Amino acid sequence: MFETIQGEGSFTGQPSIFIRLQGCPVGCSWCDTKHTWEIDPEREVSAPVMLSKNAETDEWAEFSIADLLQTIAENGWQAKHIVLTGGEPCMVDLEPLCRVFEESGFSIQVETSGTFEVLVSPKCWVTVSPKVNMRGGYKVLGSAMQRANEIKHPVATEQHVDDLKALLVEHQVTDTPVYLQPISQKERATQLAIDTCIANNWRLSIQVHKYIGIE
């Protein structure tokens, strides 16, 4: 849990508090948060210990909604935008958390692979980053694609672009903003994303936080 600048998608540049949930069975080969995949009971730590971490770890802690709000207050964080990420946050019902945070004056964004039902409040901004043919064998759900406020798709090859186009047709997604995000910021992937965005009137997401060297 940390305060930073959102570096991707529609909220790029927005001061945000990221809450990273542990656990994800999807198995993306290029995932940059593989330490969040497993919920190992032996790796559970206390909330204070978890909050003291400033490097990637597979340790995790249990927080209540009240604990999360208290943590924000105690740290003096000023951002009013909450990003629920992971891991795969939609493995759990997020609607109660969303509603409490919204009632406390925050906006909520969820970043999901689209492979689990999206259980959030009506006001929650849903970023679906659809994961196709990953190791975990999960299918991208039509309900997730339809609920998306934006679609953010990692690309490195033409096949990734073709996979996205097939999903958009299959689930009849026409008006949702589409962002392409080059995998690993490689030059070839970046050029492919640029060319594809221009050809399809899509948008480019370049992971600004990585370019400027922040979390």
Residue-wise pLDDT tens digits, 40-79:
999 999 999 998 887 889 999 999 999 999 999 999 999 9
Is 183 assigned a ligand-binding role in the annotation?
no
Q: Are strands 125-128 and 203-204 parallel, antiparallel or unpaired?
A: unpaired
pLDDT at 211: 66
Is 6 assigned a ligand-binding role in the annotation?
yes
Is 28 assigned a ligand-binding role in the annotation?
yes
Q: Are strands 15-20 and 2-5 parallel, antiparallel or unpaired?
A: antiparallel
Residue-wise pLDDT tens digits, 150-183:
999 999 999 999 999 999 999 999 999 999 999 8
Is 195 assigned a ligand-binding role in the annotation?
no
- CA–CA dist 198, 150 (Å, integer): 17
Is 157 assigned a ligand-binding role in the annotation?
no
- Counted residue by residue, the chain has a size of 215
- CA–CA dist 135, 125 (Å, integer): 27
Please report whether residue 178 resides in a domain.
no
Please report whether residue 168 resides in a domain.
no
Residue 119 pLDDT greater than 80, yes or no: yes
DSSP string, 64-114: -HHHHHHHHHHHT----EEEEESS-GGGS--HHHHHHHHHTT-EEEEEE-S
Number of domains in the chain: 1
Please report whether residue 160 resides in a domain.
no
Please report whether residue 46 resides in a domain.
yes
Is 30 assigned a ligand-binding role in the annotation?
yes
Instruction: Print the domain residue range for 68.
Output: 2-153
Please report whether residue 126 resides in a domain.
yes
Is 29 assigned a ligand-binding role in the annotation?
no
Q: Within 10 A of 39 (CB to CB), how many other CB atoms are there?
A: 15
**Residue 120: CATH number of its domain:** 3.20.20.70
- CA–CA dist 32, 113 (Å, integer): 14
Is 172 assigned a ligand-binding role in the annotation?
no
pLDDT at 212: 65
Please report whether residue 112 resides in a domain.
yes
Please report whether residue 189 resides in a domain.
no
Q: For 93-118, what is the mean pLDDT?
A: 97
Is 186 assigned a ligand-binding role in the annotation?
no
pTM of the full structure? 0.93
Please report whether residue 197 resides in a domain.
no
